[in-house]
Amino acid sequence: MDFSIKTHDAKTSISTLKSGCIAVGVFENKKLSPQAQALDKTGEITAALKSGDISGKPGSTLLLRAVSDTAAERVLLIGLGPEGDISDKVISLAAVCVARIAATLGANDAVIALPFTAIKERDQAWAIRTTVQTLRDNSYRFDTLKSKKDTAPAGVKKFIFLATVAQTAAAKEAVAQAIALANGMDLAKDLGNLPGNFCTPTYLANTAKKLAKEFKLGVEVLDRKQLEALKMGSFLSVARGSDQPPKFIVLKHLGGKAKDAPVVLVGKGITFDSGGISLKPGGSMDEMKYDMCGAASVLGTFRAIAEMKLKLNVIGVIPASENMPSGSATKPGDIVTSMSGLTIEVLNTDAEGRLVLCDALTYVERFKPAAVVDIATLTGACITALGHHNSGLFTRHDSAHDGLANELLSAGKTSGDTAWRMPIEDSYQEQLKSNFADMANIGGAPAGSITAACFLERYTKKYTWAHLDIAGTAWKSGAAKGATGRPVPLLTNFLINRAAAVK
């Protein structure tokens, strides 16, 4: 799929543009957008609205062929709702309409001439990025392991956005960023969709090495003996039941100044989670291949920012392991010692994500980070609280952490990859008390996602930190089963904003 910017003189009518299809907007009150007006020389588009063939409501579409005095072979009308009230949601829906219709056309190319400069609180660059990401997301297929590949839809393969001379540079940058982000999301989806017998901790490590080679990143992979030397007893307690060796992956994108403190992303990499001795029910257990989507999002984000050549220092840390039951597996009631020296009573081996993350969060102290964000499919309780729309965002309540939370929330809103802030308070810490160790690894059913975040918070006292629980957003179930690539858009936009702030 190809995307480009065409510099177009506003004095020249878009009716002269030759293409397989041109997409323009219409409004609910039977009014035309300026772009639609430019194509309506003989009144055919106005007649279509008046006849009721298209309502103009958001999501409505009508495809016209051979419109008089228009060089394009087809004109796609897309409803934008009330005139003068174009929101980001309307444009996002319009992008979905373009993707859906374009996939069915026999045209080679399409010009997207929607009113991208008339969106409330958004600019043209945002609209271009959103449209490119939507088109790429709609075209994503995962048939790598099928002996007979899915039939690829013909559809439009080349999309053109219009920009004035003054807009062209920003528009081209928006396309480049959107393509890089889509490539990162595709990597995160591919890793998530691979089954556990393919996507092992070693596979994740090799993926990181390939990224490092392609984009000249720093990479280090620690094995079991090195983890033992670091006294990562909590992480290794999870790996004990598996035949697959654990891997501790460190990626470095050093695009900023040498003296600048890095932003650190920590991704949970449980490549299959059986629950361990606290075995999960069999139904839908296949979806526990997605328990490494935190790791996948870190790798996907690195893929995106490396392609962008983002001028920021970013370090990715991925503790990767399986969580399996066996004669050597950690048992409920066992007590393990984390890298920090704190002891943990493992009351439930299915609460393993926090056990691998706590050692990673201790490890990253050595980087003296500007901020740390961990990303994990951590708790089913977060799905109960927030469903599948928002990722859960947890951090301490003070000025530094409030600032980090606002950065992440804003990046999520801009990218459409939203999060919702949840509380962390000392009162919840009481649920993690243990009679036999410094803490228990679970706090009971009440506020399960919050107590999980409180557990992690104990290991992050030396830096500014936030936790994203993506259990409800990293993949879809049912007929649409598959990894979503979230929260790569949120993280990438967060880092882009950080890079802009340190210029």
Q: Is 83 helix (H, G, I), strand (E, B) or coil?
A: coil
Place of tokens 């650190």: 264
Query: φ and ψ at 137, to 5 degrees?
Result: -60, -40
Gap between the Cα atoms of 199 and 76, Å rounded: 42
Q: Say how far apart CA 267 and CA 299 lie, in whole Å.
A: 9
The span from the CA of 475 to the CA of 369, in Å, is: 30
Cβ proximity of 476 and 482 under 8 Å: yes
Instruction: Classify each residue of 211-223 as buried b or exposed e, where b means 16 or more C-beta atoms within 10 Å of its C-beta.
Output: bbeeeebebebbe
Phi, psi of 43 (to 5 degrees): 80, 10
Structure tokens at 255: 């695009």
Catalytic, out of 252, 354, 486, 498: 354
For 17-33, the DSSP string reads: ---S-EEEEE-TTSPBP
Q: Is residue 158 annotated as part of the catalytic site, yes or no?
A: no
- Phi and psi of 308, rounded to 5°? -75, -15
3-state secondary structure 183-225: HHHHHHHHHHHCCCCCCCHHHHHHHHHHHHHHHCCEEEEECHH
346 in Cβ contact with 336 (< 8 Å)? yes
The Cα 459–Cα 343 span in angstroms is: 12
280 given a catalytic annotation: yes
Nearest alpha carbon to residue 299 among 270, 273, 267: 267
Q: Which of 65, 71, 73 is CA-nearest to residue 45?
A: 65
First to last CA, the chain: 33
Contact by Cβ (8 Å): 249, 205: yes
From 280, 311, 413, 421, active-site residue: 280
The closest of 241, 248, 393 to 328, measured between CA atoms, is: 241
Q: In this structure, what token pair is assigned to residue 114? A: 């929607």
Neighbours of 481 (CB within 10 A): 13
Residues involved in catalysis: 280, 354
